[in-house]
Structure 1
Amino acid sequence: MLNKIKNKLILTNTFVLLVILIMVTTFIYVFSSYSFSNTSDNELLNLVYQSKRFSKSDFQSIENDLSYNQELSYFKEKLNNEKCKLIFFNNEMKPIFSSSKFKISKKKLAKIATLYFADVNASHTEVKEQDGIYVFSDYEDSKISYRTCTTLITDNEGNMQLILIAEDNRSENATLNTLLYILALTVIFGVVASLLGGFYTADKALVPIKENMDNQRQFIADASHELRTPIAVIKTNLELIESNEDETIKSQEVWIDYAKSEIKRMDKMVGDLLILSKADLNEIPFNNKEHDIVHLIKEAIEKIEPIAVKREIRVYMSCPYNRVKVNIDEDKFTQLMMILLDNAIKYSEDKTQIMITVKVNLNKNSVVIKVKDQGIGMKKDEIEKVFTRFYRIDKARSRRENGSGLGLPIAKWIVENLNGTINIESIEDKGTDVIIALPLISYEETE
């Protein structure tokens, strides 16, 4: 399954990159082509404007290298350039003047010039100005490539003439071809790099997915194992009751009590499992508001006290404050305290005490809540495992006390969603301290 996800992830990322590269390279090429074409057309248009201002005698003076003014000199310089050519046609489409020799036959030149009178199509475009119409066309063969501009004028005698200026655009086409080649290589290289890098990044991206799947499988396996035991106990007790048909309900009360105890344990375990499964999906909202934790801790002690009294365990609170305000979800905080107190009672010996201390830490702007018991404690290597689901230090004691090993994982989830931290300090056979730190809003000391 993970391999399918990995391959799909690689292909999807590569496809997205390919689309982006094609879009970017297409834009670059089209923009560059348009820029070259626009620059060339503007230059040709300016040359045609200038050619209409000067007479043929001015052009012919190029051979004598005469300069009448600065503008004419610049114009001649442009036409002397091998890239630019100027030619006049009479009304019969015959060349009557050329600035320099064309590498195109007169017949082909006349054909290019006659495009002026053709309908506008993909092979040529026209620009309409106040002084006339200017037609742009392209001519290419195996040896030469020209961009041309043609317009119609009338000479001093009233005869119609056609002006054609052509510019050699082989260098621009070569630049565009080189750019296209580079862009194509960029796309190919990008796709190959994406495929190769995809294997690495996909493996990294799948690590948390794999961990979640492994945790899910382990969670299901642990839950199935934990539920199997109470089901087996209930089944055994019911079979005992069934085998003693002649006995009264009162005489078999012990088996019924065992079954009821396991049902109660299963009910609590299923409830805890539902909380954790919803927590994994972030489906349980936290309504964090400003609350006084001193009052909430006292309420939790009052609720847990009847259970502690049965085992002669005393629960004390040391708090030198009237109020300590913290941003919390009231119900979730109460659930947290009940879990910690319930655990402390379960793992404490009879006739011991549990101490809850509340202390403000101004340096860290936090309030520290410590739940200290005098129970069985735990080894160092066990401290790291207590937040693992279904982990129990003393399984026999935990089963006797209806423990499921889900309390501390829920407690950790609550603390993290209250923007706090939870740590455990413990010494085997001496007791355990559970230390919680929450962000402080305000406090009021006892007078």
Structure 2
Amino acid sequence: MFKTLQRKLTLTYSLWFFLTLAALFIVLFFVFKSMIYQSVSWQVEDIARDQAVEFAERHHLEGSHFKHSLYLSAFLSENGEDVVYRGTMPDPLRHEFIARVAKKENWGLTKVTSIKGEKNYMVYAMEPVIENGHRIGYIVIAKGIRGAHELIERWFTLLFVLTLIAASLSIMIAHFLARRAVLPVKRNYEKQRTFVADASHEMRTPLSVFSAGLEYFEAEEKDRMSESSKETLADLKEEVSEMNTLISHLLTLAKSDREGIGVQRSDLKVINMIQSIASYYHQKALLEKKKFVLDLPQHELTIYANPIEIKQLLTIFLDNAFKYTKDADQIVLRIGADEKRHNFCFSTKDTGIGIPENEQKHIYERFYRIEKGRARKSGGNGLGLSIAREIVDAYKGSIVLESLQNKGTTFHITLPILKNIN
């Protein structure tokens, strides 16, 4: 239980650490990228403005291919035809600039492929040339940023490696914090579990003495007791029975938490065991004016399990079925097997009050009871289904619930413990 909690906390902490650091690295990457592109963009825009003024006066482009580290310097007329340019102007790039002039995209980033097939990124700026109050075209200044782009790629690689390192550190830190967080909970839980186990053991003896005293008193004074005294005695015996059940459940849970369930196993014949349990519930059904039906397979089943735990599992579901049914209701216990998957299967079906849909997800919680008042009248302490879930999980089985309010409830239990069918 605590290992599962620690794993969940580790996962949660590491995920938040990683997401925080990843968000920080992403912000740093885009800030760095923006700063580099912006600095080049400002430089290109300044040159474009200067050359636009100069070209309007002299109709001449200053500079060459290498001046200002420019990739090209060109004048595009209003209709998009290049009149003057310096450096190289591949046709695809010229057509792209013509399209950008038409779209009024005066600055930005573009990609160009040289004659040798080398790819390069360029930051460009377009500045209108005004002559005699009329715009006659655009000065286009473009600068290759291969070095800057490679720097950005190296920066991305560095941040990616740092992210992987941060992920590893996040897991280590999260594991340490989760272990520290679980430690006091575990310590308190151990104290509580020890107290429950010790208290349950200590209560068994006085309850046994009290129960024996009630039995003796009933045998000695039965003929001399009034009806009200008999009812009081019956109530006391029922309460003692409930207390014994509660203590048994608490000890089972304490054992489950301390040692685990399903550890001690042996071969077990199912039908003989079921019939011994069923005889008790046949008598119980007669006393409570209910109908109990047992559906057994034609062949004996052999399972590999702890007989005490399997009996307890069957008893829990049958007791629940009897508790939440009324006179003339029917309870069915069906036993089966899936030989291909080595599954031992059984189901309990009743025509009782059913379980509300919004309550169904809570029924396996410890001490949880549906409609507390009604549950109190019918007995129970909210531990039965919790223990059933512990047993089924220990055997790596499954429980499927089908229930409709005021229609009945069916539990399907599957346990991979079947050895063979005789």
* Interval containing the TM-score (normalised by the shorter chain): 0.3 to 0.5
**Between Structure 1 and Structure 2, whose CA radius of gyration is higher?**
1
Normalising by structure 2, what TM-score? Answer: 0.47
